[in-house]
Amino acid sequence: MKIEGLKGCYEKTGGLFYFSRMCSKIRLHAEGGLPQEYHDMLGQGFDGRTCRYLSVSYDDVKAQVLAGKSDEEVLDWCMASGRRLTDEQVLIYNSFMSKRGWRDDETDGFIPDMIRHYGLKDDGSVLTDFDLIEMDEGRWYPEMWRDAWK
């Protein structure tokens, strides 16, 4: 489902995938523009993993976003209040996040279940959680992952 104002998984803030998406979900939720089916996962899933990786709480990130800060300003706050990431830590985060679902514990259960749930074509092109999200929200194209890593 296409949602106006919701950023994609591969959009980067300070080199990090997904961070902009988390911030856009917080803003949309506060404005009443985030569909109900997204509400239960706010602060959970990839949002939670991102916050834990940065050593900050989701509620604190949410407060920074709702205070009107840009994605870059919120990430700067995270790096100052939690932990500053090295280039290698950014690489590790991006690699994990973008490949979640591929050759791991989600491969044989979650990924096929979600392909059916979203009514997507099961032709082997959906390999990761990012693929599922991008495809469901109408942004996906076959070389998206490759372009994001450039």
**Is residue 21 domain-shared with residue 70, that is, in the same domain?**
yes
Residues 5-55: pLDDT tens digits? 999 999 999 999 999 999 999 999 999 999 999 999 999 999 999 999 999
**Is residue 13 domain-shared with residue 71, that is, in the same domain?**
yes
Residues 71-116: pLDDT tens digits? 999 999 999 999 999 999 999 999 999 999 999 999 999 999 999 9
**Is residue 70 domain-shared with residue 104, that is, in the same domain?**
no
Domain that holds residue 69: 1-84
Question: How does residue 1 score in pLDDT terms, banded at 50, 70 and 90?
Answer: confident
| Pair 98, 82: CB distance under 8 Å | no
Instruction: State the total domains in the chain.
Output: 2
7 phi/psi in degrees, rounded to 5 = -80, 160
Quick check: is 26 in a domain? yes
**Is residue 79 domain-shared with residue 107, that is, in the same domain?**
no
DSSP label of 16: E
Is the pLDDT score of 68 beyond 90? yes
In sequence order, the β-bridge partners of residue 16 are 13
